[in-house]
Amino acid sequence: MEVCDASDNAHWRLGGGRIRVFQDIIEQIQERPVPVNDLGPDIVLWKHNQNDYKEFFSATRTWEQIRVRRERVDWSTVVWFTQAVPRFSFITWLAIKDRLSTGERMRVWGLHQECLLCGERNETRDHLFFACPYSYMVWLRVTGRLFGTRITPDWQDTVARIRYDRRSKLDTVLVRMVFQMTVYHIWRERNVRRHGKAWIPYEKLTSQIDKTMRNRISSLKYSYGDKLAGLMRRWFEVTM
């Protein structure tokens, strides 16, 4: 067997030795002590934390080490929560970031788009949710008594109220769920109209959202005694 002297760079001339990343790797390898057989066989260890190595792999521990931590955004609980439906969360997230391709954003591409729900000249995120008379009627009807007199057509106020108003546990979940479903259904109705398909009146959209709410609540299957078991009863209370 040929024994190589690790200090001899002739054996490590990767990419001509000019690439910085290879130089770093070479330096790190050279700093390592040479394995000694007497100390036992080589084993694989997974890094769980700084100076904490274990024989088993942990996805959580690994993720915690490679993730880039960012400041928690104050709307995160409005978008991501246990009872949410991913496709509704996704559209809500786009709406919060103002990334839905509304008329206002389409203007950059030289296109003009008026509000397809009411005919208002300029379609913006804030108009669609819920300054538009059509969407506001849907929002008013579908939230029932959850918001009471504090309901507003203003987007920023709505998101802030969902986030900060004090409510019971059940109402907190219901408000977030119904908000996402309303945003999703209004955006879908807007796209249906944009593609020239048959549109529906706000009463019908309202009952579609109500039905989606009931289906979602049933699918959650909270058992008797769970603190969220009363979700459906509470939904009936505030909407009937």
- Binding to Zn ion, residues 192-221 (CB under 5 A): none
Shortest approach of Zn ion to residue 97 CB, angstroms? Answer: 21
Which positions from 60 to 99 touch Zn ion by CB under 5 A, shown as an x/- string?
A: ----------------------------------------
Residues that bind Zn ion (rule: CB under 5 A) add up to a total of 5
In whole angstroms, what is the distance from residue 237 CA to residue 117 CA? 30
Tokens representing residue 209 in the block: 């959202």
Among 55-63, 117-125, 186-194, 222-230, the segment contacting Zn ion (CB under 5 A): 117-125
From 94, 118, 151, 232, residue interacting with Zn ion (rule: CB under 5 A):
118
Tokens representing residue 86 in the block: 């991913």
> In terms of CB distance, is 125 or 216 closer to Zn ion?
125
Tell which residue, 147, 52, 180, 156, has the closest CA to residue 188: 180
**Three-point CA angle 1, 33, 39, nearest 5°:** 80
Which positions from 119 to 138 touch Zn ion by CB under 5 A, shown as an x/- string?
A: -x-----------x------
Tell which residue, 163, 178, 171, has the closest CA to residue 78: 163
The phi, psi pair for 238, rounded to 5°, reads -85, -15
In whole angstroms, what is the distance from residue 20 CA to residue 233 CA? 64
Among 83-91, 114-122, 150-158, 189-197, the segment contacting Zn ion (CB under 5 A): 114-122
- Binding to Zn ion, residues 167-186 (CB under 5 A): none
> In terms of CB distance, is 117 or 174 closer to Zn ion?
117
Should residue 115 be labelled a site residue for Zn ion when binding is judged by CB under 5 A?
yes
Shortest approach of Zn ion to residue 186 CB, angstroms? Answer: 10
DSSP letters, 116-182, are: TTT--SS--HHIIIIISHHHHHHHHHHHTTSSGGG--S-HHHHHHHHHHS---HHHHHHHHHHHHHH
Which residues of this protein are in contact with Zn ion, per CB under 5 A? 115, 117-118, 120, 132
